Structure 1
Amino acid sequence: MSAELAPGSAVVSASAGVRMLDIAERHRVLLAGLFLLVFPLVMPFHALAVVILTYGLYALGFNLLFGYLGLLSFGHAALFGGGAYLCGMALVHLGAPWWVGVAVGTIGGALIALIIGALAIRTRGIYFAMVTLALAQCVYYVFYQAVDLTGGENGLRLPSMAPIDLFGFRLSFVDPITRYYVVAAFVLASLFVLSRILASPFGAVIEGIRENEARARACGYDVTRSRLLAFVLSGAFCGLAGALQALHLAIVPIETLSIETSGLAVMMCLLGGMGTFFGPFIGAAVFLILENVVSVYTVHWQLVVGIVFVVCVLFFPRGIWGSILHWCGR
């Protein structure tokens, strides 16, 4: 009797798992908020938690273009670093408050994406990747040469942030836990915006373009305009991440605009799972925790991280979070 019920019980178990995934999908922003509340408690130090959030947000912006639209960019460092520099320049040269700097960095990342996207969006495949790489190097050169504004190779040092007045409470940004929750608030707002984008008709359009561009074009969608808009939105997320990173470090090094920073976005997205909602943050956490732990024992930590990356690509092509979702779905 039990043998006869076993297949049915397996079906019930599978359907229950699917229902749980559906519930988690509908309330993913709420679940993210709950996780962000306790995340610093499980990290060895709060600064690492902040860096994971900023780089996770950066990878999230890249994932919108690569994972959901299917365009591989090697120039996202221009958006991340551009947002960081513009935020820092607003604080240093204009004396703007920190929240204005964050807004300037976000808008600046979107504007840089608009310029790069307008020049590169009509290309395809490896040509798009190479054009974005070349244009990002042009952005790097511009900021490197503008020594009076950016500090050149020495980077741009930001002034100390004044205490934050919030509903009558004065919060010190110097306090690591306060800094974490300020950054976490921006990250949670970004996740909410991304969730709304993906649930909108535009989100369905960009995923349709990724799956079958010719069919999307035949259905009457403006593929070029949709790609450009997705690139601009990706730039806004990356610019915000760069601005938050600048506030956290109180300095913007020129390496923020380097090609290695663009490679980080690709690696984190693939590690976590491209085209998944939480994958970029999982990838950022794995990469940065490995870097911090392995670098304590050896200066060759990049070799270890590279081996882990190769193993994940070979045996977990969906990424860590993508594989977990696949197994749960089965």
Structure 2
Amino acid sequence: MTSSTPAAGTLPARASVPFSRLAAQWRVPFTIVVLCLLPWILPSQALAVNVLIYGLFTVGFNLLFGYTGLLSFGHAAFFGGGAYLTGMAIAHFGLGWFPAMLVGVSGAGLLAAVIGALSIRTRGIYFCMVTLALSQLVFYVALQAYGWTGGENGLRGFTVAQADILGLFTVNMLDPTQKYYFLMAFTAIALWFVSRVLNSPFGAAIEAVRENEVRARACGFNVERTKLLAFILSGAVSGLAGTLSALHLAIVPLDALGYHTSSLVVMMTMLGGAGSFFGPFVGALVFLLIEDVFSLWTSHWQLIVGIIFILFVLYMPKGLWGTLMARLSRTERDAP
């Protein structure tokens, strides 16, 4: 009989931590470290702020599309809605920056609850079209409510020059570096929240709905309630990105509610990798870099973006970051 006891002077081999678990544990710190370095790596701080804001917007959209499997063509309603509500709270009601942000995020979440309740009972292309139609309805309301939203000219006149933090210190919002890290602090909180959601039983539920809705229902999940809650959380995170955009620009253009913004976040998600945590920021960075570089060469830079997007869909459907993570996981599985 042979014994499984290790020989004297030898140590038992340590069990290796699976790559997927390691990535889940470190995804938030890794993302925050990269975001901290962005202003010093990219050509301009303006580009870094846009990557931050649109990356967070894409994180919100990815929560619905990448993890729940619902493709929405109307997420501009939540991004633009959060931005408009924040701007109106400051411009028309004289609220401070933080109460205005709460108004923007909660308003976007409420709007997502209404749109989600009307759309989640549809599937496939019908879900896409319902979300697009309801988003365009929000766009039309903002266009007509000129006294509140500025109509075609957008909302203006609510510059936040400084932000007082609990009376302890003041952030100069006119300083690009201070403003970037101020906005990044809220992005970091949102990333931590999304990560906790994904690691919770609810996170497992939304992924079960994505993989097989019929089987999830048979296992006892309330599919409609799960979809609705995911829709609301996605809308709230997208609304937070809109509030940060409003504080950054001190204006809210009507295009923030347009279908172009909804298509933009879909492209960023696909470029970075749907269903990946850091992918949204990679997608936002790639898209904005392409826009920043090729718009200097030609006014038809959208054509180049379209060609690149088609190539990604055909040959790299998991996106840049998603493909990298898949290859690392495959390498780990194939290792002896």
TM-score interval for Structure 1 and Structure 2 normalised by the shorter chain: over 0.9
Find the counterpart in structure 1 of residue 169 from structure 2.
169
Structure 2 distance, partners of 1:289, 1:141, is: 31
Q: For residue 148 of structure 1, what is the aligned residue in structure 2?
A: 147
Q: Determine the structure 1 residue equivalent to 2:319.
A: 319
Report the equivalent of 1:233: 233
Correspondence 1:1-330 to 2 at 5 A: 19=18, 22-166=21-165, 168-330=168-330
Q: Distance in 1 between matches of 2:322 and 2:145?
A: 42
SS of match in other structure, 1:252? coil
- Whole-angstrom CA distance in 2 between matches of 1:131 and 1:137: 10
Distance 2:157 2:325 in 1: 41
Q: If the length of structure 2 is used for normalisation, what is the TM-score?
A: 0.91
* Counterpart residue identity of residue 174, structure 1: L
Paired residue secondary structure (1:157): coil
| Letter of the 2:21 counterpart | D
Q: Which range moved further: 49-58 or 164-173?
A: 164-173
Conserved 8 A contact 1:24-1:31:
no
Deviation, 1:158, is 3.5
Could you tell me how far apart the structure 2 residues matched to 1:255 and 1:162 are?
A: 24
CA deviation after TM superposition for structure 1 residue 21, in Å? 5.1
Shift of 1:28: 1.3
The answer on whether the counterparts of 1:86 and 1:101 sit within 8 Å (CA) in structure 2 is: yes
Tell me the CA shift for residue 112 of structure 1: 0.7
Describe the shift of the 1:329–1:257 C-alpha distance in structure 2 as closer, same or farther (beyond 3 A). same
Question: Match of 2:296, SS?
Answer: helix
Coordinate RMSD, CA, aligned:
1.6
* Residues 17, 329 of structure 1: 8 Å contact kept: no
Q: Comparing both structures, which one devotes a greater share of its residues to helix?
A: 1
Distance 1:165 1:264 in 2: 33
Q: CA deviation at 1:297?
A: 1.4
- How big is the shift at 1:23? 2.3
In the superposition, the TM-score normalised over structure 1's length comes to: 0.93
Give the distance between the partners of 2:77 and 2:60, measured in 1 at CA: 13
Q: Aligned equivalents of 1:314 and 1:194: distance in 2?
A: 29
> Structure 1 vs Structure 2: percent identity of aligned residues?
56
Q: Distance in 2 between matches of 1:64 and 1:18?
A: 26
- 1:317, 1:16 → 2: CA distance? 33
Name which one, 1 or 2, has greater alpha-carbon Rg. 2
Distance 2:131 2:19 in 1: 40
Please give the alpha-carbon distance, in whole angstroms, between the structure 1 residues aligned to 2:161 and 2:154.
22
- 2:164 and 2:232 map into 1 onto residues whose CA distance is 32
Distance in 1 between residues matched to 2:216 and 2:18, nearest whole Å? 30
Alignment partner, residue 5 of structure 1:
none
In 1: Cα distance, 2:135 partner to 2:211 partner = 27
Identify unmatched segments of 5+ residues in structure 1: 1-14
Write the letter of the residue equivalent to 2:168. G
Deviations 1:58-92 (A, max 9, x none): 11111111111111111111111111100100010
Q: What is the identity, as a one-letter code, of the residue corresponding to 1:41? A: W
Preserved CA contact (<8 Å) 1:17 1:328: no
**How far did 1:102 drift?**
1.3
Alignment check: 8 A CA contact 2:209 2:216 kept: yes
Q: Secondary structure at the match of 1:171?
A: strand
Q: Which amino acid aligns with 2:242?
A: G
Looking at structure 1, the residues matched to 244 and 154 of structure 2 have their Cα atoms a distance apart, in angstroms, of 16
Q: How many residues align?
A: 316
SS of match in other structure, 2:159: coil
Segments of 4+ moved more than 4 angstroms? 15-21
CA contact (8 A) 1:18 1:329 kept: no
Cα distance change of structure 1 residues 21 and 121 upon mapping to structure 2, 3 Å threshold: closer
- Partners of 1:240 and 1:326 in 2: CA distance: 30
Change (3 A) 1:20 1:220: closer
Q: CA deviation at 1:133?
A: 0.7
Alpha-carbon offset, residue 183 of structure 1:
1.0
What amino acid is the match of 1:290?
I
- Equivalent in the alignment of 2:333: none
Does the CA contact (< 8 Å) of 1:120 and 1:132 recur in 2?
yes
2: CA distance, partners of 1:213 / 1:141: 34
Deviation at 1:24, TM superposition (A): 3.1
**Helix, strand or coil at the partner of 1:170:** strand
Per-residue CA deviation, residues 203-248 of structure 1 (Å, 9 max, x unaligned), is 0001001111111111111100110000000010011001111111
Give the match for residue 7 of structure 2.
none
308-317 or 108-117, which moves further after superposition?
308-317
Secondary structure, counterpart of 1:297 in structure 2: coil
